[in-house]
């Protein structure tokens, strides 16, 4: 019924409103956005970090940076939300830049998995994380970025600002404090990882940097630009090539495909086929190699921690624009 209503709304009202005017891609983004709203009630807002539970479930936004670097947006693409796991991609980039791929991946695996993002099971038998997209792995990559106190975090923030050319991006202090206070599972993993000698860290500042990077606030447009950046091997949407690096970019896209959507990654790879990374703040950042970047936002999550409307948008765009890499 609800779906029917949206389709009617789309057919009847939209042409009159004039919102969907413009290019074919804008029309597709708009119709997909409208349709995706039917999925809002199929998920729920993350509540394991108290601050996250305050998110507005009804906000939906989709942004796309096309192959020429032009931005297309529909819906709530200016609404801010915290990066959460999407920040893991940036931390991985910096760790590999500073330490080299070999050094980093001696301290974690390249594995896909059926385990949830916060699993610590592998630490018992493997003594290192399965991959850099799970919490355990990202705690290590952040700890491998050089610098005292909050320097690693600042590097991550700077890189996000660079890629998005958005100097307004900043930390959400309330979320950071909330993550820190309730982050005992991550804290537990931090000490286990330290015990296995995966990094030197004098105190919990390194863990705090992980909490901080997760609390960086972006919007869907920023995510689309990040997606574009990796799609074009480190070329910014405006053509700047300061951090151009095909090797690291390919590595990151590969890891995103294998493990970027948590334990849904394998199925997502089959159904959608685009290297993507989601965060429990509600964002999905997708990177179509050599082509476009996509950012979606809606905080209604499924059990794996992925936005349900976000997944719908990604699947629709993948099919309509033939974006699967397979």
Binding residues: 85, 135, 179, 186, 210, 262, 280
Q: Any contact of residue 192 with a second copy (CB under 8 A)?
A: yes
Among 77, 209, 235, 258, binds a second copy (CB under 8 A): 258
- Which phi and psi (to 5°) does residue 108 adopt? -165, 170
Residue-wise DSSP of 259-324 = HTTGGGHHHHHHHT---EEE-TTSEEEEE-TTS-EEEEE---B-TTS-BHHHHHHHHHHHHHHT--
Q: Any contact of residue 314 with a second copy (CB under 8 A)?
A: no
Contact 123, 192 (CB under 8 A): yes
Q: Rounded to whole angstroms, how far apart are CA atoms 249 and 257?
A: 12
What are the residue numbers of the active site? Answer: 85, 88, 210, 262, 280
CB atoms within 10 A of CB 188: 12
Among 50, 69, 147, 266, binds a second copy (CB under 8 A): 266
Q: Any contact of residue 253 with a second copy (CB under 8 A)?
A: yes
CB atoms within 10 A of CB 44: 15
**Strand bridging mode 283-287 / 216-218:** unpaired
Give 42's DSSP letter: G
Write the binding mask 211 to 250 for a second copy: x where contact by CB under 8 A, - elsewhere: --------------------------------------xx
Stretch that binds a second copy, among 50-58, 172-180, 184-192, 211-219 (CB under 8 A): 184-192
Q: Any contact of residue 184 with a second copy (CB under 8 A)?
A: yes
- Which phi and psi (to 5°) does residue 11 adopt? -70, -40
Q: Any contact of residue 270 with a second copy (CB under 8 A)?
A: yes
Among 17, 53, 195, 242, binds a second copy (CB under 8 A): 195
Q: Rounded to whole angstroms, how far apart are CA atoms 259 and 249?
A: 15
The residue among 169 and 251 lying less far from a second copy, judged by its C-beta, is: 251
Task: Enumerate residues 90-119 that contact a second copy by CB under 8 A.
Answer: 105, 109-114, 119
Q: Which residues bind a second copy (CB under 8 A)?
A: 105, 109-114, 119-126, 130-131, 184-185, 187-195, 249-251, 253-255, 257-259, 263, 265-267, 269-270, 273, 275, 289, 324-326
């Amino acid at each position: 019924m609800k779906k029917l209503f949206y389709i009617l709304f789309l057919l009847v009202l939209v042409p009159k409103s004039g919102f969907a005017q413009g290019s074919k891609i804008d029309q597709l983004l708009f119709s997909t956005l409208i349709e995706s709203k039917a999925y809002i009630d199929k998920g729920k807002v993350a509540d394991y970090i108290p601050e996250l539970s305050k998110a507005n479930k009804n906000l939906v936004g989709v942004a796309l940076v096309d192959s020429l670097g032009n931005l297309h947006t529909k819906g709530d693409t200016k609404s801010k939300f915290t990066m959460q796991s999407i920040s893991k991609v940036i931390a991985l980039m910096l760790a590999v830049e500073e330490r080299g791929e070999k050094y980093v991946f001696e301290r974690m695996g390249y594995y896909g998995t059926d385990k949830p993002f916060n699993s610590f099971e592998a630490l018992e038998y493997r003594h290192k994380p399965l991959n850099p997209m799970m919490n355990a792995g990202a705690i290590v990559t952040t700890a491998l970025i050089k610098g005292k106190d909050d320097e690693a975090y600042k590097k991550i923030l700077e890189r996000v600002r660079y890629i998005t050319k958005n100097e307004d991006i900043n930390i959400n202090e309330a979320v950071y404090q909330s993550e820190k206070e309730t982050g005992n599972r991550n804290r537990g993993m931090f000490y286990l990882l330290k015990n296995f000698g995966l990094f030197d860290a004098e105190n919990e500042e390194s863990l705090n940097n992980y909490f901080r990077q997760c609390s960086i606030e972006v919007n869907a447009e920023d995510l689309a630009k990040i997606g574009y950046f990796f799609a074009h091997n480190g070329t910014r949407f405006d053509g700047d090539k300061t951090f151009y690096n095909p090797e690291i970019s390919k590595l990151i896209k590969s890891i995103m495909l294998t493990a970027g959507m948590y334990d849904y990654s394998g199925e997502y790879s089959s159904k959608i086929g685009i290297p993507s990374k989601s965060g429990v703040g509600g964002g999905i950042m997708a990177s179509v190699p050599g082509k476009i970047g996509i950012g979606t936002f809606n905080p209604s999550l499924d059990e794996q921690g992925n936005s349900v409307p976000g997944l719908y948008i990604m699947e629709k765009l993948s099919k309509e624009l033939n974006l699967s890499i397979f």
